[in-house]
Amino acid sequence: MAEARSVDTRERILDAAEHLFMAHGYEGTSMRQITSGAGVNLAAVNYHFGSKESLMQEVFRRRLDWLNDERMRVLNALESEAAGKPLKPSQIVDGFFGTLLRMADDEERGGVTFLRLLGRTLTDPSEFIRTFLAHEYAEVVDRYKEALFKALPDVPKAEIVWRFHFMLGATSYAIAGTDALRLVTDWQIEEEDATDRLDRLVPRLMSFLLGGLRAPLPQFSSPTVDL
């Protein structure tokens, strides 16, 4: 078997695809853009991955396998250290979302490119993508949900699930980077440069997520509560 070349080619394709899918989306990226971006022959994608869909899945699997393993490892460590007692919500939130955000600094694991790709893809309309991601995430999400149930016994489970969902949305936007509505413009934030911004993003987002997670429960029945 001649592996030396093919491994290189596979990796080059994955890198190019990751970047292009991030920049232009799945449907908006053509095979020819990918292969020429990777400097390989057009047929290489179908040879190594079978199809464009399979390539997309492999782009995510390469990163998500490590991420979700790491999330599991962190949660297991926290729980064994707690010895049966409930964890702090901040620990759980940091284990799930902090672990994700810290990938931004890890260029070997895709860095900001993959994070932006993931953030944008979570709302992607393509059915096969959402199905694939849901499957990749199912186990780890379940574990973290259970941990939150135990950590917040007074909050209805349905409420926790919703707030998990909201936290995912806030995080997704935080990492999608290019602010959807140009809310964060450079002239507005004079005091920090671009390198600082990422370091500060994590504590910023964590404060927000925890504030939302532990907010007072909503009052359904009463009309127009004035809080």
Partner DNA sequence: CTATGATTCAAACGAACGTATGAATTATAA
Partner DNA sequence: TTATAATTCATACGTTCGTTTGAATCATAG
Q: 53 contacts which partner out of a second copy, DNA, none, CB within 5 to 8 A by kind?
A: DNA
CA 124-184-25 angle, to 5 degrees, is 20
DSSP 127-152: HHHHHHHHHHHHHHHHHHHHHHHHH-
Interacting residue with DNA among 47, 137, 149, 208 (CB under 7 A): 47
Q: Least distance to DNA from the beta carbon of 64, Å?
A: 21
What's the chain's length in residues? 227
Question: Which tokens belong to 84?
Answer: 């049966």
Residues 187 to 216 in contact with a second copy, rule: CB under 8 A? 188-189, 191-192, 199-201, 203-216
222 contact partners, CB below 8 Å, separation of at least 6: none
CA 130-65-173 angle, to 5 degrees, is 50
Q: Which of 30, 11, 12, 6 is nearest to 20 (CA)?
A: 30
Residues 20 to 79 in contact with a second copy, rule: CB under 8 A? 22-25, 27-28
Quick one: 49 or 97, whose CB is closer to DNA? 49
Q: Least distance to DNA from the beta carbon of 57, Å?
A: 12
Does 44 engage in binding with DNA (CB under 7 A)?
yes
Q: 11 contacts which partner out of DNA, a second copy, none, CB within 5 to 8 A by kind?
A: none
Quick one: 11 or 179, whose CB is closer to a second copy? 179
Quick one: 19 or 163, whose CB is closer to DNA? 19
Q: Which of 115, 122, 69, 113 is nearest to 95 (CA)?
A: 69
Question: Which residue ranges make up the site for DNA (CB under 7 A)?
Answer: 1-6, 8-9, 29-33, 40-48, 51-53
